[in-house]
Amino acid sequence: MELLYKKIEEKDKEQLFKLIDIVLGGLPDQAHFIPYEQWELDSMLDEFKKEFNLTEYKVCELGGNLVLPEYRGKGITTKLQTMEMKLAKELGFDYIISMAHPDNIGSCKTLERIGLEFVKETTLSNGFLRKLYMKKL
């Protein structure tokens, strides 16, 4: 199977929304995915930085991965996150952080495989239980 990694364009919008509906509608537990909009993302990253004791650093968060069920387990997320980590380093970020629900095996596995280290398990202010992972770039 040949995979094409590309940035999403305006014309991909409908397909993207369909992907979001399918994946989020089929989650084994809704707590596996934190739904957020841009303003929430902005304030969340500040909270995440505090949780990791990284407020002084330029920090990039890996997250929001959605793969259709029939394409899972083929290394798509592992490869994408490896590319994202390389890009973050090129862009001058100091740390990569990420978090996953403890029962979300696919998420935890990909983060550990690309070299992030488990920091701690915590409940975020929005009530979501998460395993926190980080890596110095």
Ligand X SMILES: CC(C)(COP(=O)(O)OP(=O)(O)OC[C@H]1O[C@@H](n2cnc3c(N)ncnc32)[C@H](O)[C@@H]1OP(=O)(O)O)[C@@H](O)C(=O)NCCC(=O)NCCS
**Full DSSP string of 34-102:** ----HHHHHHHHHHHHHHTT-TTS-EEEE------GGGTTSSHHHHHHHHHHHHHHHTT-SEEEEEE-T
Q: Judged by CB under 6 A, does residue 75 bind ligand X?
A: yes
Q: Judged by CB under 6 A, does residue 115 bind ligand X?
A: no
| CB 36 within 8 Å of CB 108 | no
Q: Judged by CB under 6 A, does residue 73 bind ligand X?
A: yes
| CB 116 within 8 Å of CB 96 | yes
Shortest approach of ligand X to residue 35 CB, angstroms? 11
Shortest approach of ligand X to residue 77 CB, angstroms? 3
| CB 109 within 8 Å of CB 103 | no
| CB 80 within 8 Å of CB 88 | no
Shortest approach of ligand X to residue 113 CB, angstroms? 7
Q: Judged by CB under 6 A, does residue 114 bind ligand X?
A: no
Write each residue from 6 to 35 as x if it is in contact with ligand X (CB under 6 A), else as -, in one continuous string: -----------------x---x----xx--
Single out the segment in contact with ligand X by CB under 6 A; choices: 12-20, 36-44, 50-58, 101-109: 101-109
Applying CB under 6 A, which of residues 3, 22, 41, 66 lies at the interface with ligand X?
A: 66
7 token code pair: 């940035």
Amino acid letter at 31?
Answer: A
Residues found near ligand X in the complex (CB under 6 A): 23, 27, 32-33, 63-67, 72-78, 104-107, 109-110
